[in-house]
Amino acid sequence: MTTPIMSDAELRAAVERELPGVRADLERLVRIPGIAFEGFDHAHVERSAEAVAELLRGCSLDVRIVRSGGQPAVIGTRPAPPGAPTVLLYAHHDVQPVGDLSLWESDPFEPVERDGRLYGRGAADDKAGIMAHVAALRAYGDTLPVGVVLFVEGEEEYGSDSLERLLAEHRDSLAADVIVIADSANWDVGVPALTTSLRGIVNFFVEVRTLQQAVHSGIFGGVVPDALTVLARLLATLHDDAGNVAVEGLSGRAGATVDYPPERFRAEAGVLDGVHLVGTDRITDRLWTKPSLSVLGIDAPATAEAPNALVPQARAKISVRLAPGDDPKQAYEALCAHVEKHVPWGARLDVLLEQGGAPCAIDATGPMFDAARSAFRTAWDGTDPVDIGIGGSIPFIATFQEMFPQAAILVTGVEDPQSRAHGPNESLHLGEFARVCLAETLLLSRVAAVGTGGGSVSKP
Of the pair 226, 426, the CB lying nearest ligand BES is at 426
DSSP codes, 282-321: -HHIIIIIS-EEEEEEEES--GGG--SEE--EEEEEEEEE
**Enclosing H/E stretch for 409:** strand 408-415
User: Measured over all CA atoms, what is the biggest interatomic distance in the chain, rounded to whole angstroms?
Assistant: 90
CA-only gyration radius of the chain, Å: 24
Instruction: Give min distance, CB of 380 to Mn ion, in A.
Output: 22
| Residue 201 in contact with ligand BES, rule: CB under 6 A | yes
Q: If phi over 0 gives left and psi between -120 and 50 gives alpha, with beta otherwise, what is residue 244?
A: beta
Burial grade of 43 (CB within 10 A; 0-12, 13-18, 19 or more): exposed
The region of 138-146, 251-259, 389-397, 430-438 touching ligand BES under the rule CB under 6 A is 389-397
| Residue 416 in contact with Mn ion, rule: CB under 5 A | no
Known active-site residue 155: no
Out of 154, 357, 454, 455, the only residue in the binding site for ligand BES (CB under 6 A) is 357
Instruction: Give min distance, CB of 313 to ligand BES, in A.
Output: 28
Buried b (16+ CB within 10 A) or exposed e, 237-266: ebbeeeebbbbeebbbeeebebebeeeebe
Known active-site residue 94: yes
Picking from 21, 19, 29, the residue whose alpha carbon sits closest to that of residue 111 is: 29
| Residue 358 in contact with ligand BES, rule: CB under 6 A | no
| Residue 426 in contact with ligand BES, rule: CB under 6 A | no
* Residue 185 touches which of ligand BES, Mn ion, none (Cβ within 5-8 Å per kind): ligand BES
Interface positions, 140-159, toward ligand BES (CB under 6 A): 156-157, 159
Interface positions, 36-95, toward ligand BES (CB under 6 A): none
Tell me: cis bond preceding 126? Omega within 30 of 0 counts.
yes
| Residue 125 in contact with ligand BES, rule: CB under 6 A | yes
Interface positions, 176-195, toward ligand BES (CB under 6 A): 183-185
Of the pair 86, 195, the CB lying nearest ligand BES is at 195
Instruction: Give min distance, CB of 167 to ligand BES, in A.
Output: 15
Give residues with Cβ within 8 angstroms of 54, minimum separation 6. Answer: none
Instruction: Give min distance, CB of 117 to ligand BES, in A.
Output: 17
Instruction: Give min distance, CB of 207 to ligand BES, in A.
Output: 22
100 close to 144: Cβ distance less than 8 angstroms: no
| Residue 328 in contact with ligand BES, rule: CB under 6 A | no
Picking from 54, 29, 34, the residue whose alpha carbon sits closest to that of residue 45 is: 34
| Residues near Mn ion (CB under 5 A) | 125-126, 183
Q: Which amino acids are annotated catalytic? A: 94, 156
